[in-house]
Amino acid sequence: MITRFPVVDISPTTYFGGEFIAAKAIPHEAITIAATVFREGHESFEVLALLFDSAGKRVTRNPMRLIWPGTDRYEGVLTPTELGAWSFAIEVCDDKGITSISEKYPICAEDPRSLIGSWYEFFPRSEGAIKKSDGTIVSGTFKSAQASLQRVADMGFDILYLPPIHPIGLSFRKGKNNSTTALPGEPGVPWGIGSSAGGHDAINPDLGTIEDFKDFVAAAKRLKIEIALDLALQCSPDHPWAKSHEEWFTKRADGTIAYAENPPKKYQDIYPLNFDNDYEGLLAEVVRIITFWIGHGIRAFRVDNPHTKPLHFWQECIAIINASYPDVIFLAEAFTRPAMMHGLGKAGFQQSYTYFTWRVTKHELIEYGTEVAKTTSGFFRPNFWVNTPDILPFHLQSGNPQIFALRAVLASTMSPSWGMYAGYELYEHTPLKADGEEYLDSEKYEIKVRDWESAKKSGKTLMPFIAQLNQIRKAHPALQRLRNLEFHQTDSEHVIAYSKREGDDLILVVVNLDPSHMQQATVHWNLYYLGLGSDSFEVTDLLTNKRHTWHKESFVSLDPTGANGSVAHIAHVSIK
């Protein structure tokens, strides 16, 4: 029914699956509430945003402002203060006491790690691996990988993601560079899960025992690193499920189980699951597996290819887990169509991989940054990964260290969650083929022996710079928020500028998108976005620790080819 004061186009609201789903938030995150409000005639009225706690009690009543004359569009800010279910509504009243209140719309304040995190990925079997004189390689283990945790901590990462740690099948095992036939001694693909040693609740014997894993998790926690496990709902032909639960798979006409295909690729070493034959049985088993690993100290899961499973399965599964373990988060590895990626967020995934990996130009970055920060932030939280074991982006294949540096700046400052796969800091960049985005000698198919110490001694590493970026992120609340991203005009297509503000913490970022040439530009800072009243302001460049006086129109020069290889300014503004 239309109220006396129509309130329409309310945000953040998302109607999905026959209901309004909760807008994503974390405690103490400011959320912009917006609506179009109007009435007959010309009499004035006041618009307020109301916040209700989980018991339905109103705890906040904040004024909303008209953002532009004649638009009837109002904005206000609400801030949930603790974990749990919240809701908001919009109230309109005039000087005669006539009042209208909209319906209530849900907000869910989740664990802060749902929004904020610096992720790193390594393969435990490569950490501490040894190449013998005869060329054979001895696998790393959880015990040897413990030594690598310090390297991860020194770079400032707080979440370490491990590819599947389960037994790997022998049938149709893939070899080096995705060869369809593995040679003797080749370790196989970790995503080919399951053998006579067990399935999704077992440890690959090459990595050690469950006790070794528990020790590894405990060592990580002592360094304030959270371990995230891969949840890959697929099986090797040798997985115990292939015998005990044939109904969980798709059968061909001849009665054999169909392997996975993603044309033109074929994955003979993997059986995908079929959720149509025994949905309840599969759901119960997946919940059991997740709960099993939660019992071993895991509170974060990176889910492999969730877009190949039914959305309603994820909605139900995540709801079951979060009802008992609200601090558990799920990251969707879904490089797929926008509708499906967004659908996964609406179904309950706390985070998702994104298209950032392929957004390179100034226009692409502004368009995509605006989308994730403004348009979709109510239901979709981005995690900006600079690379993955599957993806060596074309822009990194030159091997120019400065492209690695500037992409790390963009990922770590545009998004409150970002990620990096091991080898990025060593500038690994050789593709399998010229027209592809896969690594030559991919770690998915073999054990990688890296010489971290030699790289450190020679200075051919990005590790100190990565550590600096993560230190800056931890020190500045503005970089731990998503919705506050604002872009500013520059007069060069090679220079991008943006700001983030949280309270009195204001960060300005300027990046040279050209890794090979000096670029100069005037940045036209929008003082309204910055919340500054003066045309000049003092800044400290957090990368160089130098102080500058900047102005509304600031000239910048960034030379990646110089002695210091400057690719960006990350400036903290002194708020007087």
**What confidence score (pLDDT) does residue 264 get?**
77
pLDDT at 49 over 90: yes
Average pLDDT of the chain is: 96
- Give the contacts of 218 (CB within 8 A, at least 6 positions apart): 297
Residue with tokens 């109002």: 74
Evaluate whether 114 touches 415 at the Cβ level (below 8 Å): no
3-state DSSP call for residue 211? helix
1 pLDDT band (50/70/90 cuts)?
low
- Tokens linked to 59: 């705890």
Is residue 97's pLDDT more than 90? no
Q: Which of 29, 111, 304, 425 is catalytic?
A: 304
Confidence of residue 575 (pLDDT cuts 50, 70, 90): confident
Q: What is the mean pLDDT of residues 33-59?
A: 94
- On the question of pLDDT at 2 being above 80, the answer is no
pLDDT of residue 563 exceeding 70, the answer is no
What is the mean pLDDT of the segment spanning 5-31? 96
Q: Spelled out in words, what is the top-level CATH class assigned to the domain 113-233+278-477? A: alpha beta
Tell me whether the CATH fold assigned to 7-109 matches the one assigned to 480-573: yes
344-402 pLDDT tens trace:
999 999 999 999 999 999 999 999 999 999 999 999 999 999 999 999 999 999 999 99
Task: Report the pLDDT averaged over residues 80-109.
Answer: 93
Least confident of 7-11, 21-25, 262-266, 445-449: 262-266
Q: For residue 517, what pLDDT is reported? A: 97
Helix axes 401-414, 362-370, angle to 10 degrees: 20
Q: What is the pLDDT of residue 71?
A: 95
Longest Cα separation, the chain: 90
Strands (E), 422-504: 486-490, 495-502
Q: Which amino acid type is present at position 138?
A: V
DSSP-assigned states of every residue in 314-368:
HHHHHHHHHHH-TT-EEEEE--S-HHHHHHHHHHT-SEEE-GGGG--SHHHHHHH
Q: What pLDDT was estimated at residue 3? A: 77
Q: What pLDDT, on the 0 to 100 scale, is given for residue 426?
A: 98
The catalytically annotated residue of 29, 110, 158, 333 is: 333
266 has a pLDDT exceeding 90:
no
Spell out the domain ranges in the chain.
Answer: 7-109, 113-233+278-477, 480-573
- Superfamily for domain range 7-109: Immunoglobulins (2.60.40.10)
Find the mean pLDDT for residues 430-444.
97
The reply to whether the predicted model has a pTM over 0.95 is: yes
CB 120 within 8 A of CB 422: yes
Quote the pLDDT of residue 461: 97
Please give the pLDDT value at position 564.
66
Q: Is 441 a catalytic residue?
A: no
Q: Is the pLDDT of residue 267 over 90?
A: no
Could you read off the pLDDT of 316-329 as tens digits, one per residue? 999 999 999 999 99
486 is catalytic: no
Indicate the fold that domain 480-573 takes in CATH: Immunoglobulin-like (2.60.40)
> pLDDT value at position 322?
98
Rounded CA-CA distance 40/342 in Å is 38
Write the single-letter amino acid at 291: T
Query: Is 157 within 8 Å of 121 (Cβ atoms)?
Result: no
